[in-house]
Amino acid sequence: MIETNRKRQMTRMIKDNNSVLILVALLAICFLFVDGYTNGFYNVLVYSSIYGAVCIGLGIVMITGNIDLSVGFIAGVCGIAVVIAFNAVYAATGSAALALVVGIFAAFACGALLGFINGFVIAKVGVSPLIATIATNYIFKGLAFYFAKASYAPTSPDIVKVFAKTQLFGLRWLTPSVILFFVLIGVVAFWMHKTRFGNNLYIVGDNPEAAAFSGISVSKTVLLAYVICGLFAALCGFLMVSFDGYAIYTQGNALSTFPISCCVIGGIKMAGGKGTAIHILLGVLIMRAISTMMSVLFLSTDMVNLITGILLIVVLVIDRFTSTKEAE
């Protein structure tokens, strides 16, 4: 009896942490068999820190049982907002520090607004999240295209680059953005499990009817989740500008499928109600490890597309399988 329980506990532990196993196995294979991976590994951490914020935001929305396909272009628009605000304030005052503060504020304001639009259309108007965010994705893409067809750089770029380009202690993989990403994961993990609103996200995602019966405002929770998602996308937009040194409308393209893949492979269920910030972290690291492996191997375009497609299917199969299993 005790042995059966122990076996069950072990199985449960493995199932709950299968993304850890995937990451460990993946990294082991990469380090052992892929030439040049050690040299390119810093990419995994640095790029995870740049794009990771958008995955945190999307993960929060997914936990409520919703989806946001526009999150990449929210980040793109916010990145452009950073540069527009930065350049305007810098031109008016000559203060790069002030311009940076206003630029960051503009990005967050923009992210919150775009997130609110998504949330309002979905939670208050009742449009399907899939359809609504496909539509807003076009709108945000159009906005980004209108403002930054070609690259649009801050007029005093050095101060903007500090966040993503500064190598702390001379280590290439240790930048302020990497530290920020891990701190954010910790904060979000705490917030989601130790606060009432964080718990409400899970309850709404797990069973919205039950949530409503227990007095939780489902629409308000979902709306706020989208606003928070917009804020994280804004952070990502700012970090992309900090890392690349410019904003351009195609920056949103890079995030079209990446955040969803990260969340699902990490263990966030598309049906909602399951997953943690740690799962998002693992998902981001796994996806970046694979992406880095493909570029270190200099794979051809057809191979990259093939593998990306297969990977998405594997991710969805895993999601489907584990969701069914849990439902049983």
Partner 1 sequence: MKKLTKILALVMAVAMMLALASCGGSSSSGSSAAESGGSDLSGKTIGYVTITSTAPWGGLVGTEFERIAKEKGATVRVLDAQTDVAKIAEYCQQMIDAGVDALAIFGGDPNANAEIAKAADEAGVPMFMCALDVAEPGRQYVKACVGPDQEQMCYDIAQYIIEANGADSGMKVVQISGVPFLDDYIQREAGFARAMTETNYNVLEADYAYSSRTDAKTFMENHITAEGDTIDIVMGYDDDLTMGAVAAIDEAGLTGSIKVYSLTGQNDAIQAVADGKMELTVMNRAGDIAEETVNAIIEYLSTGSTEYYHYTPLTFIDKDNVQDYIGKGEF
Using CB under 8 A, list all residues that contact partner 1.
Answer: 22, 25-26, 29-30, 32-36, 39-40, 43, 47, 145, 149-151, 153, 240, 244-246, 248-251, 253-254, 293-301, 303-305, 307, 310-311, 314, 317-318, 321, 324-325
CA distance 112 to 118: 10
Query: Which residues, in sequence order, are bridge partners of residue 144?
Result: none
7 C-beta neighbours (distance < 10 Å), count: 10
33 burial class (0-12, 13-18, 19+ CB within 10 angstroms)? exposed
Closest separation in Å from C-beta 29 to partner 1: 5
Closest separation in Å from C-beta 157 to partner 1: 9
Return the axis-axis angle of helices 196-206 and 176-194, rounded to nearest 10°: 70
Nearer to partner 1, 77 or 248 (CB): 248
Q: What are phi and psi of 153, to 5 degrees?
A: -105, 150
Closest separation in Å from C-beta 35 to partner 1: 6
Nearer to partner 1, 128 or 326 (CB): 326
Nearer to partner 1, 130 or 303 (CB): 303
Nearer to partner 1, 187 or 303 (CB): 303
Nearer to partner 1, 144 or 211 (CB): 144
Closest separation in Å from C-beta 193 to partner 1: 28
Nearer to partner 1, 48 or 64 (CB): 48
Closest separation in Å from C-beta 310 to partner 1: 6
39 C-beta neighbours (distance < 10 Å), count: 10
Closest separation in Å from C-beta 209 to partner 1: 28
User: Any residues with CB less than 8 A from the CB of 26 and at least 6 apart, and which?
Assistant: 286, 289, 290, 293
Query: Which residues, in sequence order, are bridge partners of residue 247?
Result: 152
Q: Which of 138, 148, 146, 144 is closest to 110 using CA atoms?
A: 144
Q: Is the dihedral of CA 72, 73, 74, 75 positive or negative?
A: positive
CA distance 146 to 249: 8
